[in-house]
C-alpha cells in the first residue's frame, strides 16, 4: 500500500488533471450508454464534473467512502453515505447503466466496497495503481504502487527538488 512517504512523487497540475479526465471521458463515450453517474467522494467529485459534462449526464449521485483519514496512510474503510435507492433501481437493479467514477484506484479496497453495492456498474478512474487495476473497467494512466499522487486540490505552489537530488545524486 502506498503512503505519503513513498519513494516516488507524481504531482498533477489542474491542466494535466483536466486533460486526463477528458481523456477518460473519450474512452467512456463508447462504453455506455450510461443513465446515471455515481462519484466516489471526495476524490471522484472533480473528474465526475468533467466527465458528466463531456458525456451529457445529468443524473449524478455520490457515495461517500473514507479511506485516507490522515492524508498519509490508507486505513479502515468507512461508508459515510450510501447510494440513493433511485440509482440502485436503474437498469437491472445492480448497476447496469450506471457509471462509477473516482480519481484514483490505489489498493482497490474502496472500489470493491462500491462494486458490492453496484456489481454491474462500469467503474472508471483517472489513475490506477497495479493493485487497483483489476477492480476498474476503464482508466487513463497507471502509476506504480509505490508512487504517491499529489492532486492539484491538495497542493500549493512550492519549489520541488530535482529527482536526482532526492535519489542521492
Q: Which residues are catalytic?
A: 102-103, 106
Give the pairing type, strands 60-68 and 74-81: antiparallel
The Cα–Cα gap between 43 and 72 comes to 15
Contacts of 51 (CB under 8 A, 6+ apart): 21, 24, 25, 28, 37, 57, 99, 101, 124
Amino acid at each position: 500500500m502506498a503512503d505519503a512517504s513513498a519513494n516516488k512523487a507524481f504531482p498533477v497540475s489542474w491542466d494535466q488533471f483536466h486533460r486526463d479526465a477528458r481523456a477518460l471521458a473519450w474512452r467512456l463515450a463508447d462504453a455506455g450508454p450510461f443513465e446515471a453517474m455515481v462519484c466516489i467522494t471526495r476524490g471522484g467529485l472533480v473528474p465526475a464534473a468533467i466527465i458528466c459534462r463531456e458525456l451529457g449526464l445529468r443524473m449524478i449521485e455520490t457515495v461517500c467512502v473514507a479511506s485516507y483519514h490522515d492524508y498519509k496512510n490508507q486505513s479502515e474503510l468507512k461508508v459515510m453515505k450510501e447510494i440513493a435507492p433511485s440509482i440502485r433501481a436503474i437498469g437491472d437493479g445492480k448497476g447496469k447503466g450506471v457509471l462509477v467514477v473516482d480519481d484514483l484506484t490505489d489498493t482497490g479496497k474502496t472500489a470493491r466496497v462500491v462494486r458490492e453495492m453496484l456489481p454491474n456498474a462500469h467503474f472508471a478512474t483517472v489513475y490506477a495503481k497495479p493493485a487497483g487495476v483489476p477492480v476498474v473497467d476503464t482508466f487513463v494512466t497507471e502509476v506504480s504502487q509505490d508512487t504517491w499522487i499529489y492532486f492539484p486540490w491538495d497542493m500549493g505552489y512550492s519549489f520541488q527538488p530535482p529527482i536526482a537530488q532526492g535519489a542521492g545524486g
